[in-house]
Amino acid sequence: MDFLIDPDTEAIAEAVLRFVEREVLPLEERHRDLLGSERTLFEANGRYVPEVLALKRQVRMRSAELGFYNLFGAEKLGGAEQGAQVMAHVQETLNHRIGPAHPLVQTVVLPSPFTNGLSPVLRHLQPEIFEPYRAGITSGEKTLCFGLSEPDAGSDAFGMKTRAVRDGDEWVLTGTKQWITNSPYADYAMVFALTDPEAAARHKGGVTGFFIDTRTPGFSVPRIINTMGHLGGETGVIVLDGVRVRDDHRLGEVGRGLAVAMDGVNAGRMGMAASCLGLARWALDQAVEYAKVRKTFGVPIAEHQAIQLMLADSAMDIYAAKTMIQNCAWRLDSGRSSTAQVSMVKAFSTEMLGRVMDRSIQIHGGMGLTNELRLEEGYRFARVMRIPDGTGEIQRRTIARQLLSGHADF
């Protein structure tokens, strides 16, 4: 197996990085008074202030103009359809080189499969229906949200209570979605609801996806959910109060919604894993450099065996994650079954980042507890990443089921 990154992939990653370094990071710096504090980022209700939303939109549209924003979108939707190997390398490179805590970079320059850009889920919308929405989504002007989770249905999607009832050529949706990223700001929502509760109770389908304009009567986002360490943010609660959706705005076949949803979930897991790999490399770089210059007992702390062991453990974690991600991305691009592998990669990489960030903070001592070096921010990000797109426990459940059914091919 050849693990060398081909020149075209290297060129794509470097081009994205140059855009970020030359245009996005200077834009962040010019607006440091606005972006540098939670107190100025958010309104009292937890939503981003309008100036921040305008900056995010500006970066999205500039990224789209330069050809980066839709790099990984399906060709039939208007994207460049670069594969999983390219995506993994680009995300790793970007996160390794710039580190955490960049509000105008994460899921802005390169879209998340759930919140903006050409989500894989959109492939299940009829082409003639998608066409009027294409320009707004591909340009970065319009954004999305992905409504699957509910208050009592996170990892167990079949436990959802949101209902969609057929009424002629329309469906009427009623229910609540929770933990929905970008829901307070999205122009369109990809929402999943029960259309056959009996089938869902037997875990035999019964869930259907719908594409909804968030301006539709009955659609609202009444509340922001503040997450770890933040005074506001992107996560919200969606209430569907008799929302009417035309049948031609269905995402895929009736009753096959969870298979449709997994298109976005699997892409999200791979992107998250590669981002975690890049951030872990960044954290290890900080630890190595600090260990060389910080002295105790008359020598650099890099000479202390305790420090060396932590550095070595982090290097082993990173090497294992990188190898897993490269292999899994290759499998996906080759069309091989990769359900277990995607779960392994997501669980291992997110947990690995937590370990590496923790060691880096420990090596930095008191400095690691401040956010001057951004390690504290990275540590909080790492802890959050173990839950979205399926917890580590759910990933292990998937892996075990694949093993027991004979479908985990290594």
Contact indicator for 121, 188 with CB cutoff of 8 Å: no
Q: pLDDT of 24-77, one tens digit each?
A: 999 999 999 999 999 999 999 999 999 999 999 999 999 999 999 999 999 999
Residue 255: strand, helix, or coil:
coil
Residue 299: strand, helix, or coil:
strand
Return the pLDDT at 248.
98
Tell me which long-range contacts 378-384 makes (C-beta under 8 A, separation of at least 24): 378/99, 378/100, 378/101, 378/279, 378/282, 378/283, 379/354, 380/228, 380/229, 381/100, 381/279, 382/276, 382/279, 382/350, 382/353, 382/354, 382/356, 382/357, 383/228, 383/354, 384/227, 384/228
pLDDT of residue 21 exceeding 90: yes
Contact indicator for 207, 158 with CB cutoff of 8 Å: yes
Q: CA-CA distance, 120 to 126, in Å (whole number)?
A: 13
Q: CA-CA distance, 148 to 257, in Å (whole number)?
A: 10
Q: CA-CA distance, 208 to 147, in Å (whole number)?
A: 12
Q: Which two structure tokens, joined as six digits, stand for 226?
A: 């503040």
Mean predicted confidence (pLDDT) in 110-134: 94
**DSSP-based helix, strand, coil % in the chain, nearest 5:** 55, 15, 30
pLDDT of residue 310 exceeding 80: yes
Q: Model confidence at 409, in pLDDT bands (50, 70, 90)?
A: confident
pLDDT of residue 280 exceeding 80: yes
Q: Which two structure tokens, joined as six digits, stand for 332?
A: 């996906």
pLDDT of residue 306 exceeding 90: yes
CB atoms within 10 A of CB 337: 12
User: How many helices (H) does the chain have, and how many strands (E)?
Assistant: 14, 10
Return the pLDDT at 265.
84
Q: Over the range 191-207, which residues count as b (16 or more CB within 10 Å of their CB) and which as e?
A: bbbbbbeeebeeeebbb
Return the pLDDT at 157.
87
Q: Which residues pair with 239 in a beta bridge?
A: 176, 220
Mean pLDDT of the chain: 95
Return the pLDDT at 407.
86
Q: Over the range 140-162, which residues count as b (16 or more CB within 10 Å of their CB) and which as e?
A: bebbbbbbbbbeebbeebbebeb
Return the pLDDT at 408.
77
Return the pLDDT at 404.
95
Q: pLDDT of 283-302, one tens digit each?
A: 999 999 999 999 999 999 99
Q: pLDDT of 40-49, one tens digit each?
A: 999 999 999 9
Which domains does the chain carry? 7-116+131-138 (1.10.540), 144-255 (2.40.110.10), 259-404 (1.20.140.10)
Q: Which amino acid is at 65?
A: E
What is the distance of C-alpha 48 from the center of its chain?
19
Q: pLDDT of 210-258, one tens digit each?
A: 999 999 999 999 999 999 989 999 999 999 999 999 999 999 999 999 9
